[in-house]
Chains A and B, each alone.
Chain A
Amino acid sequence: MLLGAPGRRPRGRATESTHKGYFTLATDIDTHSAPHGTRRDFLYVAAGAVGAVGVAAAVWPLINQLNPDASVLALASVDFDLSPVAEGQSVTIKWRGQPVFVSYRTKKQIDDAKAVQLSELRDPETDEQRTKPGHEQYLVQIGICTHLGCIPNGPDQGDYGGWLCPCHGSQYDTAGRIRKGPAPKNLVIPPYKFTSDTKITIG
């Protein structure tokens, strides 16, 4: 009634006298009501908007605290010395709590990877795109199956001589590319760079 019937001026002395406080006020407002809303409408919306911004500002830190904290982020990069890794060997190191496969691939494994036509691949990537120039014998990838996050076994597993996930049978080739099974993507290459010929920094 207060704001619901703009332009209608309540008359009737009986109502006014019984609910004096409210209806005197309502009469005043309705007198000024225009198609664009009243001063009270404006204050109502403005107060609501300020309140909503305030609530959002208070909720944000409560959500943001869920993000990885500084101590987790401080471990976001690791250095690794490649020299002890022998040809044909693959080692697993831990980066950000996740396994990273570092593989020193044999000539045959590299040739096998390069011989594959891109059209055969579900997630087409060349071997060069998955290694660093001049260091293509080293394959560095996050050892987590892109299906549901299990850790594949390998290398030299499965039909493609690469990695085989024990959970749902996804198979990856010698460049860690998905070839068979339910996984949608190739094994993820983490951001890394060579700091010298035998040292890498992951992250």
Chain B
Amino acid sequence: MTDHTSSYAPSNGLEKWLDDRLPIIRFSKEHLMDYPTPKNLNYWWTFGGILAVMLGIQIITGIVLAMHYTPEATLAFNSVELIKRDVAGGRIIQAVHSTGASMFFVAVYIHIFRGLYFGSYKAPREVLWMLGVLILLLMMAAAFFGYVLPWGQMSFWAATVITNIFASIPFVGDPLLQLLRGGFAVGNPTLNRFFSLHYLTPFIIAAVVVLHIWALHVPGNNNPVGVDVKSSRDTVPFHPYYTMKDAFGIVVFLIPYAWLVFFTPDILGHSSNYIMANPLVTPPEIVPEWYFLPFYAILRSIDFPLLFIDSKLLGVIFFGGSILILFFVPWLDRSRVRSGNFRPLFRPFYWLFVLNFLMLMYLGSQSTTIWWVPVLGKVGVVYYFAYFLIILPLLPRFEVTRPLPASISESVLRPART
């Protein structure tokens, strides 16, 4: 990437003048148009572009919604209802934003699982991967803060349960809990600060996305065969090849999104959130949004103490660890072959991991009073961690990988038999 020479030649005096002072057109041409991209990228690679669009949609609709929303405990619930009923087009704008959070997570989970399958986290893309995990954490924070703002019963009790997680930290837990809530319970001060932070996080995400793309453009894209780019015959310019492919992916992605917005904007929400927050009544069941369910299931499955750690803190440790472990994946996976397509032993374990993730998602939505929920939950937790801590490090010792193609262009011209 860095060694190719720019094809940009300022076409007139003004561009030349600007290029000598701020080479922004040159930069854009190099990184948005000429950027050499492996020519074999499949549709799983369009989710990066889809995510960029989702971030844009969330920021734009969010700024608009903030013009009508009131972050005050007695008014917040009604202001959201007024947005849906009275504000011109507010019903659609609000649905684009709330459903957008779900679609954002659909895209990010596909993007992450694509990286896990094709070994996109492996050298030299460790920093790229870690920045991605950071973005995931920021997205979770943004989604959580946003979910509290409508100030319904689920909003309130999600805020209560999630902030309670910090109370399990030894010694500093209780003062920390009051610091986070700004009171002895979740209340107006909590709502105010969550609104402030909800407005802030997307811009932090945007900044980290810039770093993420920078870290992508240094080594260049990984690709489905996982073989490095060896010559210019392996690549095509980003524009028009991948701008078009991404645009097509984006349009296809927008179809189910639009369907949800226009026909079933509430299907992903919870009916309890149409009751205004009441600190004296707990809803019959507290369930997080679907995208948090696998991690919620991990939190709930740990219902036993270990040594001097009580069950609540241990659950929190596993909950946090299940996300933080992603930072270490580049060093846990010892295989030198990137793509799962050439790893016959890896593939069944990978798909089992995907199924396990979906199972945890389902279990998180079910009541723990059903006897098999905590049992299967523990099985799920064991496999989740075993995949990262046992299978990825040890698999290369037993695995005979299939021969890799000599180059990307060879794999395109003569596809390896699977």
21 contacts between A and B (CB under 8 A): A67-B179, A68-B178, A72-B184, A72-B187, A76-B184, A96-B184, A97-B185, A97-B279, A99-B280, A147-B312, A148-B161, A149-B157, A149-B160, A150-B157, A150-B161, A166-B285, A167-B285, A168-B368, A182-B303, A182-B311, A184-B312
| Alpha-carbon gap, A97 to B189, bound state (A) | 12
Report the nearest B residue to A203, measured CB to CB: B184
- Expressed in whole angstroms, the minimum distance between the Cβ of A144 and any Cβ of chain B is 8
B170 at the interface (CB under 8 A from A): no
Chain A residues, CB < 8 A from B368: 168-169, 182
B182 at the interface (CB under 8 A from A): yes
| Alpha-carbon gap, A147 to B312, bound state (A) | 7
B residues 132-166 near A (Cβ < 8 Å) are: 157, 160-161, 164
Q: Mark B188-202, 1 if CB is under 8 A from A, else 0.
A: 010001000000000
Chain A residues, CB < 8 A from B369: 168-169
Decide: A184 and B282 in contact? CB cutoff 8 A.
no
Chain A residues, CB < 8 A from B184: 68, 72, 76, 96-98
B180 at the interface (CB under 8 A from A): yes
Of A63, A72, A94, A184, the residue contacting B310 (CB under 8 A) is: A184
Task: List the 6 shortest-distance A-B pairs measured between CB atoms, nearest first.
Answer: A96-B184, A97-B185, A150-B282, A151-B282, A149-B164, A149-B160
- Expressed in whole angstroms, the minimum distance between the Cβ of A95 and any Cβ of chain B is 8
- Expressed in whole angstroms, the minimum distance between the Cβ of A198 and any Cβ of chain B is 24
Chain A residues, CB < 8 A from B183: 68, 72, 96-97
Chain A residues, CB < 8 A from B193: 66
Give 10 new A-B contacts, CB below 8 A, not counting A92-B280, A96-B184, A149-B157: A66-B180, A67-B178, A68-B183, A97-B184, A97-B186, A150-B157, A151-B281, A166-B284, A167-B282, A167-B286
- Expressed in whole angstroms, the minimum distance between the Cβ of A150 and any Cβ of chain B is 4
Decide: B282 and A66 in contact? CB cutoff 8 A.
no
| Alpha-carbon gap, A149 to B183, bound state (A) | 15
Decide: B279 and A72 in contact? CB cutoff 8 A.
no
A residues 55-106 near B (Cβ < 8 Å) are: 63, 66-69, 72, 76, 92, 94, 96-99
Chain B residues, CB < 8 A from A76: 184
- Expressed in whole angstroms, the minimum distance between the Cβ of A148 and any Cβ of chain B is 5
Q: Could you list which residues of chain B lie within 8 angstroms of chain A, going by C-beta atoms?
A: 157, 160-161, 164, 178-187, 189, 193, 279-282, 284-286, 300, 303, 305, 310-312, 368-369
Chain B residues, CB < 8 A from A69: 182, 189
For A66, A148, A150, A169, the residue with the greatest tally of chain B CB atoms inside 10 Å of its CB is: A148
| Alpha-carbon gap, A44 to B160, bound state (A) | 46
Of B164, B185, B310, the residue contacting A96 (CB under 8 A) is: B185
Decide: B189 and A151 in contact? CB cutoff 8 A.
no
Decide: B189 and A72 in contact? CB cutoff 8 A.
yes
Chain B residues, CB < 8 A from A99: 279-280
Report the nearest B residue to A68, measured CB to CB: B183
Decide: B312 and A66 in contact? CB cutoff 8 A.
no
| Alpha-carbon gap, A148 to B163, bound state (A) | 9
- Expressed in whole angstroms, the minimum distance between the Cβ of A123 and any Cβ of chain B is 10
| Alpha-carbon gap, A182 to B314, bound state (A) | 12
| Alpha-carbon gap, A151 to B156, bound state (A) | 13
For B178, B183, B312, the residue with the greatest tally of chain A CB atoms inside 10 Å of its CB is: B183
Chain A residues, CB < 8 A from B281: 151
- Expressed in whole angstroms, the minimum distance between the Cβ of B360 and any Cβ of chain A is 17
A residues 169-183 near B (Cβ < 8 Å) are: 169, 182
Report the nearest B residue to A165, measured CB to CB: B282
| Alpha-carbon gap, A12 to B189, bound state (A) | 67
Q: Mark A31-67, 1 if CB is under 8 A from B, else 0.
A: 0000000000000000000000000000000010011
Report the nearest A residue to B280, measured CB to CB: A99
